[in-house]
Amino acid sequence: MAKGIGVQGSGGLTRQRDAVLRVIRGSGEHLTACEIYEQARQLLPSISYATVYNSLKFLTNEGLVHEVKFGKGASRYDRETERHDHAICNACGKLVDFDLDLSEELKRQAARRSHFKPESIQLTLRGLCPDCRPGK
């Protein structure tokens, strides 16, 4: 049998990793490591900054969370791990997830042009978010 993996009540995650995962799942936003650390400390006051980073790396590798880099500053983490698309506001920098049905044909076309063996495709829209649109 596999060696111990920490706590088993939480789906095989240690308390620390579980706390980090919970924070991410509990937020609609895309949080930075720093924000996650602050919130995780409320669930588990003894957790350290390094553990937050370790956990984020672990959870990302396991496919339980998703890392996103955009705009200014630190990486952010997303609870959404299914394929999805991104909209980024050119005015305020906000990132919003949404979902489009991108065709297989589009994927094949991208593969042909790039000479890559395709795994997934994702669309990014840049524009103005509802809060930044003029006239509203």
Partner DNA sequence: GGGTGATTTAGAATTATTCTAATTCCAGGT
Partner DNA sequence: ACCTGGAATTAGAATAATTCTAAATCACCC
First to last CA, the chain: 60
Rounded to an integer, what distance in angstroms lies between the CA atom of residue 37 and that of residue 47?
A: 8
Pick the closer one to its own copies by CB: 42 or 83.
83
Q: Any bridge partners for residue 32, and if so which?
A: 76
CB 90 within 8 A of CB 127: yes
Q: Which is nearer to its own copies, 8 or 124 (CB)?
A: 124
The site map against its own copies for 97-126 (x = CB under 8 A) is: -xxx-----xx-xxx-xxxxxxxxxxxxxx
Tokens of 12: 């095989």
Residue whose CB is less far from DNA, 24 or 58: 58
Distance CA 66, CA 77 (A): 6
d(CA 59, CA 67): 10
Nearer to its own copies, 2 or 116 (CB): 116
Contacts of 19 (CB under 8 A, 6+ apart): 40, 43, 44, 47
Using CB under 7 A, list all residues that contact DNA.
1, 3-8, 14-17, 32-34, 44, 46-51, 53-55, 57-58, 72-75
Please tell me whether residue 127 binds its own copies under the rule CB under 8 A.
Answer: yes
- Residue 16: which of DNA, its own copies, none does it interact with, CB under 5 to 8 A by kind? DNA
Mask of contacts with its own copies, 69-98, x by CB under 8 A?
A: xx--------------x-x-xx-----x-x
Interaction site with its own copies (CB under 8 A): 69-70, 85, 87, 89-90, 96, 98-100, 106-107, 109-111, 113-130, 133
